[in-house]
Chains A and B, each alone.
Chain A
Amino acid sequence: MNDRFDDELLAKARNLATEVQPGRDLWPDIAAAISEPAGRPRLFGLTNVLTQAAAVLVLVGGSSGLTYLAVSGDRAGVSPVATTQGLEVETVAANFGTQYSLGPDFVDARRDLEARLGDELTRLSPEARADVLKNLAAIRSAIREINTALAQEPDNALLQDLLLSSYRKELELMQSVNGLAGNSMYREDI
């Protein structure tokens, strides 16, 4: 590498175009991204929460179906094999923004199911019980994450629906364990 080459290289490099137009207009996608209801500072965090929560619900949905089959199979003639000691069924608070709250019927049903869940769990085999608790933990983790996001965006309808879906999954799982037939939740429940 000599000075002449250096000079020639620099001259050529400086003549390269510094402005190049992209093959498509990027603005529509940018405008869509910055118009998210989450607003500017929380755009990426909220998207992440939504994605994670949705993924958890999809996974839990599929897994809950398997749990239901396991629980149904267990129910016939299985006598209690464990005590309720060590089985913690936590209550997860709901945050539906400034205009909504969980309806009283749902709150009562959930409280009743939770009260019976501990006893019902003891009737399951250790594997099925572990599966149920694992799914419940996943659902409640999603509920906590969505609640955190809703604390920042209390009236975000998408988050509210996700939270509702999470509660619906939780209720369905508890119903499958308790063997109760109940109505699923709908938007009118909040």
Chain B
Amino acid sequence: MTHAVVNEEELLIRRAQKADQRAFEQLYRRYVGKVYGLCLRMTCNPAEAEDCAQEAFIQAWTKLGNFRGDSGFGTWIHKVAVNAVLGRMRKSRREQDRIRAVAEDMDGPPSVGDSGGMRDLEQAMNELPSGARHVFVLTTVYGYSHEEAGDMLGIAVGTSKAQLHRAKRLLAQQLGTAGAA
């Protein structure tokens, strides 16, 4: 990102903080892909991801006064989006059912090396329990540190590391890797 772009973004943020909706729309256009992408990876559901992304931008508008620029705007709005997803998931009974169903599947015998082919990584990620999936998405796909992921998800750094380890182990099982242990 060039210096000019940063300055332009800072200007948009300052204008949006003064309730300039046009500036906020430009920020939306700039970040909607990142926000929706994260919501989609976390929820595995396009419709829910749209709702979460929408909610995230509405929340961002109301909380924009709190943005001090300590982190980048992209990181800040990602955090808002993570909160939107977690808030929605807490309300969603279906997600709980889905987590239980996946957990039951995980209790069965591992399918290590049974198919001779790698299943699609995205599909395998979708089948992870939400805690493991969220950490995997934030740390591995989006490159956040365990400290940042833990802060976003409201969990300890050690928990984040444990969830990542669990995610890798489950992915290894699902992807049929002979080396999974």
Contact = CB atoms under 8 A, between A and B. Distances in A.
A34 interface: yes
* Most chain B beta-carbon neighbours within 10 Å: one of A2, A18, A23, A26: A26
A40 B58 CA distance: 9
A30 B180 contact: no
Interface of A: 1-2, 4-6, 9-10, 12-14, 16-24, 26-27, 29-31, 33-35, 40-41, 43-44
27 contacts: A1-B181, A4-B179, A5-B180, A6-B168, A9-B121, A10-B140, A13-B121, A13-B136, A14-B141, A16-B122, A18-B34, A18-B142, A21-B32, A21-B36, A22-B36, A22-B46, A22-B53, A23-B50, A26-B54, A30-B54, A30-B61, A31-B21, A34-B24, A34-B58, A40-B19, A40-B62, A41-B62
B28 A30 contact: yes
Complex A-B, nearest 8 residue pairs according to Cβ-Cβ distance, in ascending order: A19-B33, A2-B179, A20-B37, A13-B140, A1-B172, A22-B36, A34-B61, A26-B54
B50 A13 contact: no
B143 interface: yes
B49 A22 contact: yes
